[in-house]
Structure 1
Amino acid sequence: MLGNTEMVARLLLAGAMGSVIGFERERLQWAAGLRTHMLVCVGACLFMLVSAFGFSDVLGRQDVVLDPSRVAAQVVSGIGFLGAGTILLRGEVVKGLTTAASLWAVAAIGLAVGGGLYVPAIAATGLVVGILAGVKPIEERWRDRNQACELKLTVKAGSLAIDALPELTGERASRIRQFVVRPGEEPGLEEVTITFARLPRASVEAVARRLSDNPAVIRVRSGDQE
């Protein structure tokens, strides 16, 4: 049985580790920020302490058999309701999955601290912060190079056909995956949408400048400017 001082120290350490990860989420102004991560980590640590040491007074009896891992196991599944609350649907894009995953990881860190596994808990805290803060720029660069990009053009009616795209877009014409023409809001104009697959944003901007030079093109804008 641990002493009260050791238990309090574990709770304080769990709160500190949760704050390190929560600060990164707070910096980006997510709903689950500093306080939420600290509370989850401290709560998970307390659950672990209760699970491991809270029933020591009855475990010595011959008619009592308890599994000290059951309370901790419920934390793993129970944290899901809190993670679900951080996931939002904005338009057609799901947001908050990373924050939900960080809450789940923080709960595991709290359990580790509560169980006295200090080195794994500290290592996991460093890894989680490194993933949240360090991997994001790499992920964004990769996504920028590989996601589909759209150019929306307002052109004079009948002035832009699909067979003219290789000349207008150059070597990037092979990356075109969709070409859609719709009637414009004003008479004599058409709205053209060109979708590129796996084309860096810089290349899309170069194509946009090249299309803007065409006298038949009234306006060019990217899809994320809508």
Structure 2
Amino acid sequence: MNLDLHLPAFDAGATLASLLSLSTAFVLGGAIGLERQVRQRTAGLRTNTLVAVSAAVFVDLAVRYHGLHGGTPSPLHVVAYLISGVGFLGAGAIMKDGAQISGLNTAATLWGSAAVGACAGLKLFPEALLAAVFVLASNTLLRPVVNRIQRQPLPETFSEATYAINLVCQREQQAEVLDRLLLLLEQAQYPVRAVDQRPFGERDVEIEAVLYATTVDGSELDAVLAELAAQPGMLQGFWNATLEE
């Protein structure tokens, strides 16, 4: 039995170039990962190194194949696919716990490692080094700036406030009071985002109307409450504001 394996001729120069690409990706991806590992992030030394090296392998393979056979996929097509693939990988590092979201910086760092590997695979070694430097700078030099900003109280002018009006009325007059409240707010041009109605004691009801985050004139809300005070069945009413980031 004759086996014709059609093995390509060994190209020492091309193999050396691939070794240089993968070594560059390994070193620079490792540098990015080391910074992440020191800070005990989810994607640390091994993950970032693997992402960078794998990106370099795929792009180097595309360059080699395109150089031998031409046609598609071109190296740029492979880079585009790589961006999409790393996007899915990064999404797995993002976690949501209630209103808190973590892992965004980890996902972005993985993307940066892939960019470093893609540059290395294309033999753009200075560009790979620059990319790694800027990824590292983003994770190190900008950290004190972010920490200092986060420690500062947020100025009220930079925030939006969510306003809520709370009314307590007799259960029998609940529908009339709510209709009157919505009418007065509509006339004041304050759109209502949500209305919640819940028991208040055995015979009364609390109505809460949450307004969309916007600029509100407190005197206008006071006027709305003053008019509602004359509504049959009304017991008490007040409004409050909560700052949102």
Give the TM-score normalised by the residue count of structure 2: 0.55
- Aligned residue identity for 2:23: L
Secondary structure in structure 2 of the residue aligned to 1:3: helix
**Correspondent of 1:41 among 52, 74, 79:** 52
Does residue 88 (structure 1) correspond to residue 95 (structure 2)? The answer is: yes
Does the CA contact (< 8 Å) of 2:86 and 2:111 recur in 1?
A: yes
Identical-pair percentage: 33
- Aligned residue identity for 2:16: T
**Correspondent of 1:126 among 129, 133, 140:** 133
> In structure 1, how many angstroms separate the alpha carbons of the residues matched to 2:88 and 2:39?
22
By how many angstroms is 1:65 displaced? 5.6
Alignment of 1:127-142 (within 5 A): 127-142=134-149
Aligned position for 2:75: 68
Alignment of 1:73-222 (within 5 A): 73-147=80-154
- Aligned residue identity for 1:139: V
1:66-99 CA deviation, whole Å, 9 max, x = no partner?
A: 5332112100111011101111113421001011
Aligned position for 1:56: 67
> In structure 2, how many angstroms separate the alpha carbons of the residues matched to 1:127 and 1:104?
13
- Aligned residue identity for 1:114: G
Structure 1 residues 89 and 147, CA, compared in 2 at 3 Å: closer, same or farther? farther
Structure 1 residues 28 and 107, CA, compared in 2 at 3 Å: closer, same or farther? same
By how many angstroms is 1:117 displaced? 0.9
Does the CA contact (< 8 Å) of 1:52 and 1:69 recur in 2?
A: no
Instruction: Return the index of the structure with the highest Cα Rg.
Output: 2
List runs of 5+ in structure 1 lacking aligned partners.
Answer: 149-226
Aligned position for 1:202: none
Which deviates more, 3-12 or 66-75? 66-75
Secondary structure in structure 1 of the residue aligned to 2:81: helix
Does the CA contact (< 8 Å) of 2:66 and 2:74 recur in 1?
A: no
> In structure 1, how many angstroms separate the alpha carbons of the residues matched to 2:66 and 2:126?
26
Structure 1 residues 116 and 94, CA, compared in 2 at 3 Å: closer, same or farther? same
Does the CA contact (< 8 Å) of 2:26 and 2:52 recur in 1?
A: yes
Secondary structure in structure 2 of the residue aligned to 1:89: strand
Give the TM-score normalised by the residue count of structure 1: 0.60
By how many angstroms is 1:147 displaced? 4.2
Does the CA contact (< 8 Å) of 1:83 and 1:103 recur in 2?
A: yes
Does the CA contact (< 8 Å) of 2:91 and 2:107 recur in 1?
A: yes
> In structure 1, how many angstroms separate the alpha carbons of the residues matched to 2:130 and 2:58?
21
**Correspondent of 1:25 among 36, 40, 50:** 36
By how many angstroms is 1:144 displaced? 1.1
Does the CA contact (< 8 Å) of 1:23 and 1:34 recur in 2?
A: yes
Aligned position for 1:9: 20
By how many angstroms is 1:143 displaced? 1.3
Does the CA contact (< 8 Å) of 2:66 and 2:72 recur in 1?
A: no
Secondary structure in structure 2 of the residue aligned to 1:29: coil
Aligned residues: 145
> In structure 1, how many angstroms separate the alpha carbons of the residues matched to 2:40 and 2:149?
23
> In structure 1, how many angstroms separate the alpha carbons of the residues matched to 2:116 and 2:73?
24
Does the CA contact (< 8 Å) of 2:22 and 2:57 recur in 1?
A: yes
